[in-house]
Amino acid sequence: MSRAPTAVLALLALAASAMPSAAAAPLRGTVKRSFTATGVNGRITSTFPPTASHVYASFIWLNAPTAGQPLEIDWFGPSGQRVAVWKDRTLKTDTAGTRLYSFIGRKTISAHPGHWRVALSVGGVERAAQTFTVAKRS
């Protein structure tokens, strides 16, 4: 019996383990829950009067993303156009249960009645979105 094939396989396995492995793709995170509210600890709702002082959007991690990635919360008005954005980076201190939030104010809200969408993105990949309505003036 020849031992050459076994030796070749062993050398190939050794060579493969010595090669640098590709860096693991960053985790983008998973959102457990998202909602809109009247304040940072305000009433959760999906309908706001045009006179509301703020609309807050919250996103709670189920699984936190890898730290250091671009992070955005984008606000899209009734026409679908981005009206506002909050930008930062994912943090090492983010864990399951960490809440991210952003808000927009009365001037923006009252100028754009209708159906809105707010979305959280990590590294350019949307992770969660929430919709809400700003009522028209009476």
Q: What is the pLDDT of residues 56-67, one digit of tens each?
A: 999 999 999 999
Is residue 11, in this structure, part of any structural domain at all?
no
Amino acid at 101: Y
pLDDT in tens, 66-95: 999 999 999 999 999 999 999 999 999 999
Is residue 47, in this structure, part of any structural domain at all?
yes
Is residue 8, in this structure, part of any structural domain at all?
no
Is residue 3, in this structure, part of any structural domain at all?
no
Is residue 97, in this structure, part of any structural domain at all?
yes
Which distant-in-sequence residues (6+ apart) come within 8 Å of 65 by Cβ? 26, 27, 28, 29, 71, 90, 94, 122, 123, 127
Closest CA relative to residue 71, chosen from 46, 49, 98: 98
Q: How many CB atoms within 10 Å of residue 44?
A: 10
What is the distance between the alpha carbons of residues 118 and 132, in angstroms, rounded to a whole number?
8
Q: What does the pLDDT profile of the chain (138 residues) look like in tens digits?
A: 444 444 444 444 444 444 455 667 889 999 999 999 999 999 999 999 999 999 999 999 999 999 999 999 999 999 999 999 999 999 999 999 999 999 999 999 999 999 999 999 999 999 999 999 999 987
Is residue 2, in this structure, part of any structural domain at all?
no
- Find the domain containing 53 and state its range: 26-134
Cα–Cα–Cα angle for 118, 121, 122, nearest 5°? 160
Q: What is the CATH classification number for the domain harbouring 30?
A: 2.60.40.1930
Is residue 90, in this structure, part of any structural domain at all?
yes
Cut 0.75: pTM above it = yes
Is residue 53, in this structure, part of any structural domain at all?
yes
Domain count, the chain: 1
Cα–Cα–Cα angle for 65, 69, 74, nearest 5°? 90
